[in-house]
Chain A
């Protein structure tokens, strides 16, 4: 009896929640294709009759904002930051996992403090540091900051995973006279694939979606990311909701496409025991 009933109970529980999670996406997407009047009159309807692309055309390219340039910047910033983070942090984590001494313990504690500081709070000191190094208003500055900011998270992901790998692997390679560096890249790194996958996924999401740091570090006129572009339609004195919806859709579209495209590897990667903690 219970056997037949249980699957339905599960849907009873999961279905409403899925809807709750999907409603905002539905709202953003359908309303991006409607006129302002239409949004106010029928916010929940599908834009079958009065479908319009005006919101996209109007907000994608303006004198101060160009979505294609913004995509370029976002892709550059995200990819370089993520690649460097994975390379640098996986090596760091290897050291953390294999060596223990007081210096490393202190470093580990210092990394923890990075998890606790809201980025907005260190804005002015950060600007001072970047300006001193001549990195203010450059993509390099933003990339280096991104690396600094996400080192703790990435290291925690990798350290947890490396600790579960047996030391015998590196010991045997060592007998052949390989250096630790070679051992790591030749033998361990390929085994880290699940951890790498989840780190890459989360870092991509967070860096792509970051708002405050690109705004401040890149400045506004020379380069900007797609996420900061949303603010083009928002002001203290007026918010054009139809443009906001369109920009939200444009800013998130690449991430969604990537997600739908890689969904299988994505979920597999995440559930292969990568986040053992």
Chain B
């Protein structure tokens, strides 16, 4: 590499990484630092607590439950969104009447903030919300979308799927565009039907888009917070508490910032391990398929 190039590269690389460093990494490091103390988030002084927060978190039943809930939402939402995403992308990739209309509509949920969407759905789905009023007029029993613990988790998951599908469709659409038409011509000659075309050409060729969608959905759902905060506040009886929600609650409402920091560090470790292994697996899969 020419010396001159080095300066160029440094000039191009440094501003972005430094801002990232200052405003995201340093706060994360600070969080890790706090996790070894017993700070309540307020007091001027705090003392070293060693690994005690981590030991406590390890035995924390509420945290284990939140982890379960988060994993459930993540797995269901990631799978559902990707299945729906691929299916709709394939449908939308065909030329046809209304294709443009559908394309626009599927993008709509992305235009609204999670907060707005949360409020709209709350007004629709709550016990005396618009949907339940309609049911009552029809003589059907009201449904407790947020009051029944199991249903509440499903409702949160459904809304996550509702809002993310558009984004994932877009990724797959982009992936579909990059598949050379000549590949299809070849198998059509062999008399492959649509399903076979999909199985042997489309799906394998979508591997890079698949990797990206899975990783984005996975990391995104593991951070689930807004919907829970707006729709259920973690209730009923803690059934919808996700890790992120619990970290915030423990840190802010129970005033145990250091303890909540240790929960956050666990969360970071778990999510990193899972997403790194997912990425490695998916990248290998790409290499195998392409």
Real complex partners, A and B? yes
A147 contacts the other chain (Cβ, under 8 Å)? Answer: yes
Interface residue A255 (Cβ < 8 Å from any Cβ of B): yes
Q: Is B20 within 8 A of A151, CB to CB?
A: yes
Contacts A151-B20, A244-B119 hold; do A25 and B31 have CB atoms under 8 A apart?
Answer: no
Interface size class of A (residues with CB under 8 A): 35 or more
Contact B23 A148 (CB under 8 A): yes
Taking the closest CB of chain A, its distance from the CB of B57, in whole angstroms, is 14
Kindly state whether residue A111 has any CB partner on chain B within 8 Å: yes
Interface string of B9-21 (1 = CB under 8 A from A): 1011101110111
Task: Indicate if the CB atoms of B174 and A129 lie closer than 8 Å.
Answer: no
- Cβ of B59 under 8 Å from chain A: no
Give the distance in Å from the alpha carbon of A88 to the alpha carbon of B21 in the complex. Answer: 14
Query: Does A210 contact B244, Cβ atoms closer than 8 Å?
Result: no
- Least Cβ–Cβ distance between B274 and chain A, in angstroms: 9
Does B47 belong to the interface (CB within 8 Å)?
no
Chain A residues lying within 8 Å of B247, measured Cβ to Cβ, are: 118, 120-121
**Secondary structure dominating the interface of A:** helix
Task: Indicate if A180 sits at the interface (CB-CB under 8 A).
Answer: yes
CB pair B116–A251 under 8 Å, yes or no, is yes
What is the count of residue pairs linking A and B with beta-carbon distances less than 8 angstroms? Answer: 259
Residue of B at shortest CB range from A24?
B120
Contact with A along B192-221 (1 / 0, CB 8 A): 000000000000000011011000000100
Q: A28 to B272, Cβ gap below 8 A? A: no
A184 touches B12 (CB 8 A): yes
- Contacts from A to B (Cβ < 8 Å): 7, 10-11, 13-14, 17-18, 20-25, 27-28, 31, 40, 43-44, 88-89, 91-92, 94-95, 98-99, 107, 110-118, 120-126, 128-130, 133, 144-145, 147-149, 151-152, 155-156, 160, 179-181, 184, 198, 202, 205, 208-212, 227, 230-231, 234, 241, 244-245, 248, 251-252, 255-256, 259, 263, 266-267, 270-277
Q: 12 A-B pairs, CB-CB below 8 angstroms?
A: A14-B88, A18-B106, A21-B109, A25-B112, A116-B219, A121-B244, A122-B27, A128-B30, A181-B11, A255-B111, A259-B107, A275-B212
